Amino acid sequence: MNPDRIHVIPLGDFREHEASLSCWCHPVADDDEPGLIVHRAMDGREAFESGERLPS
């Protein structure tokens, strides 16, 4: 684990995340803050947050 990186991990996801780049969700560095590592939720909540999907 790199102390210069901050991992943003979704809470209450269907599967536990690992605070590393080898997590199952294939986390990526944020475009604006490269030291910020963003993990993707298994439940797809990012699509709602970005407006890509609308609640049914």
DSSP string for residues in 9-44: --TT-SS---SSTTSTT--EE-SS-TTEEEPPPTT-
C-alpha closest to that of 7 among 26, 35, 45: 35
- Residue 49's φ and ψ, nearest 5 degrees, are -65, -35
- Measured distance CA(39)–CA(25) in Å, rounded: 6
N-terminal to C-terminal alpha carbon distance within the chain: 39
pLDDT, position 52: 82
pLDDT, position 32: 94
pLDDT, position 44: 83
The model's pTM: 0.76
Q: What is the pLDDT along the chain (56 residues), one digit of tens a residue?
A: 566 899 999 999 999 999 999 999 999 999 999 899 999 999 888 787 777 877 77
